[in-house]
Amino acid sequence: MYRQGCLGFTSQAKDIIQENMSQNRIYMDYNATTPLDPEVIKSISEALHEAWGNPSSTYTAGVKAKKIINESRENVARMVGGKAEDIIFTSGGTEANNMVIQSAVEHFKRSRDGTECNTDHSNGCPGLPHIISSNVEHDSVKLVLEHLQKEGKADATFVPVSTVTGRVEVQDVMAAVRPNTCLVSIMLANNETGVIMPIKDLCWKIRSLSKRRSQRILLHTDAAQALGKIQVNAPELGVDYLTVVGHKFYAPRIGALYVNSPGTKTPLHPLLFGGGQERNFRPGTENTPMIAGLGKAADLVTSNLSEYESHMRRVKIYLEGRLKLVFKDKLHFNSHFQDSEILPNTCNVSILGPNLQGWRVLSGCERLLASVGAACHSDMGDRPSHILLNCGVSESVAANALRLSVGRGTTEEDVDAVVEDLERVRSVP
């Protein structure tokens, strides 16, 4: 079933979940989004009832709202190892990623005073800010960079991931650095393969290089898929910015940006201008209930991460074992790479053979709810995921890919039912 009595879910939780899901369906698309934890729903509901006031007001409902926001900020900061003042609430991950990139461009412009391009473009345009990213990023990084390039406002290099490890290799990023590089933005874990990127090593290398340059290179990681699944500590990683996405760890659709001392140690420029909230970095009257939910979800992660992680890992290992047993050599794991660490919940797999394209298999499943790749590419129909292709998976194997991502409540019985489902679909002529 979607959720069966583990990891602190109450019977009330089960009821809520079952109300929201049709019977007998098994959700394995936790990398696309997660349901809200019942404790998160409770926090949101309390905030809606009791903290509806404008957080800038001085009467009770406003003061209560302010208090909730401050507590949530502390909880989110604790989850990522930062200080409360390092957390800026945003609408979600897309906004946080946009804010980092636009901020780095603005900072470059201000500190370079808009130096004109010269005519030698062999090393890119030295007057333009240059940003390094990878070829497996989420669209909220990729498309911003492509847009800036198209508009002539920035240069970007998308470093290809290694087809052996599925990772962005540190030496490849270092080789892409130019005199005008102002930002390196690489995700902490990939949403389709679950591959964990070497962000700590990368930050260390970039920081050593930055010391020898007049302009430092800012470091960003999009931790959307890592939070709630593996330990994430921004200062230990060495990043300047880290993106937090609530709906990937049982919080509502809201996000936050960790910035190491925004405006002092780390430049941060707003995308929006308005009423001064979030110290002017992200104005707009705060969304107290959703912030309350994010704070509660962050607190749950801080308290229970090792339990969540080991549960998901155990279930995923069981899933992969069952798949191997049933499909034998007619199976390819697109999330197995030499020497790479993978998220504990992510299994990207192709059942090999004609007419077994991912979308076809999923549409034949009676119980499994999963996806063939990133939710934002769901309109790509039967075209194979460019992320998998960039990781070296062949077209025909990538076309059959299923992204199975388990959650805190997925059970071995769920796995058995899903594998049965897949076996049945495979044997349908």
Ligand X SMILES: Cc1ncc(COP(=O)(O)O)c(C=O)c1O
Cβ 133 to ligand X shortest distance, Å: 12
> What single DSSP character describes residue 109?
H
| 41, 65 contact by CB (below 8 A) | no
How far is residue 115 from each of residues 118, 125, 327, 363, 420, measured CA to CA in Å?
A: 9, 10, 60, 54, 62
Q: Name the 3-class secondary structure at 185.
A: strand
Window contacting ligand X (CB under 6 A); options: 199-207, 217-225, 320-328, 347-355 = 217-225
| Size of site (CB under 6 A) for ligand X | 13
Binding of ligand X by 180 (CB under 6 A): no
Q: Name the 3-class secondary structure at 63.
A: helix
Pick from 128, 224, 256, 393 the residue near ligand X by CB under 6 A: 224
Q: Does 376 participate in catalysis according to the annotation?
A: yes
Binding of ligand X by 191 (CB under 6 A): yes
Pick from 35, 55, 82, 92 the residue near ligand X by CB under 6 A: 92
Cβ 108 to ligand X shortest distance, Å: 23
User: CA-to-CA distance for 319 and 349, rounded, in angstroms?
Assistant: 11
Q: Name the 3-class secondary structure at 390.
A: helix
Binding of ligand X by 93 (CB under 6 A): yes
Of residues 60 and 378, the one with the C-beta less far from ligand X: 378
Query: In a 10 Å sphere around its CB, with 0-12 CB exposed, 13-18 middle and 19+ buried, how is residue 83 labelled?
Result: middle
Cβ 255 to ligand X shortest distance, Å: 5
Binding of ligand X by 229 (CB under 6 A): no
Window contacting ligand X (CB under 6 A); options: 148-156, 222-230, 390-398, 400-408 = 222-230
Site for ligand X in 135-164 (CB under 6 A): 138, 140
Q: Which residue has the tokens 């401050």?
A: 70
Identify the sign of the CA torsion 278, 282, 287, 289. Answer: negative
User: What are phi and psi for residue 183, nearest 5 degrees?
Assistant: -150, 140
Catalytic residue among 117, 125, 347, 376: 376
Pick from 34, 134, 165, 225 the residue near ligand X by CB under 6 A: 225
Binding of ligand X by 373 (CB under 6 A): no
Q: How many of the other CB atoms lie within 10 Å of CB of 264?
A: 10
Query: In a 10 Å sphere around its CB, with 0-12 CB exposed, 13-18 middle and 19+ buried, how is residue 47 labelled?
Result: buried
> What single DSSP character describes residue 157?
E
User: CA-to-CA distance for 377 and 422, rounded, in angstroms?
Assistant: 23
Cβ 340 to ligand X shortest distance, Å: 17
Window contacting ligand X (CB under 6 A); options: 92-100, 196-204, 301-309, 350-358 = 92-100
Binding of ligand X by 417 (CB under 6 A): no
CA atoms within 13 A on the CB side of 143: 7
Of residues 94 and 400, the one with the C-beta less far from ligand X: 94
Binding of ligand X by 196 (CB under 6 A): no
Site for ligand X in 254-273 (CB under 6 A): 255
Q: Longest Cα pair distance anywhere in the chain, in angstroms? A: 68
- Which residue numbers are catalytic? 376
Residue ranges in contact with ligand X by CB under 6 A:
92-94, 138, 140, 187, 191, 222, 224-225, 245, 255, 375
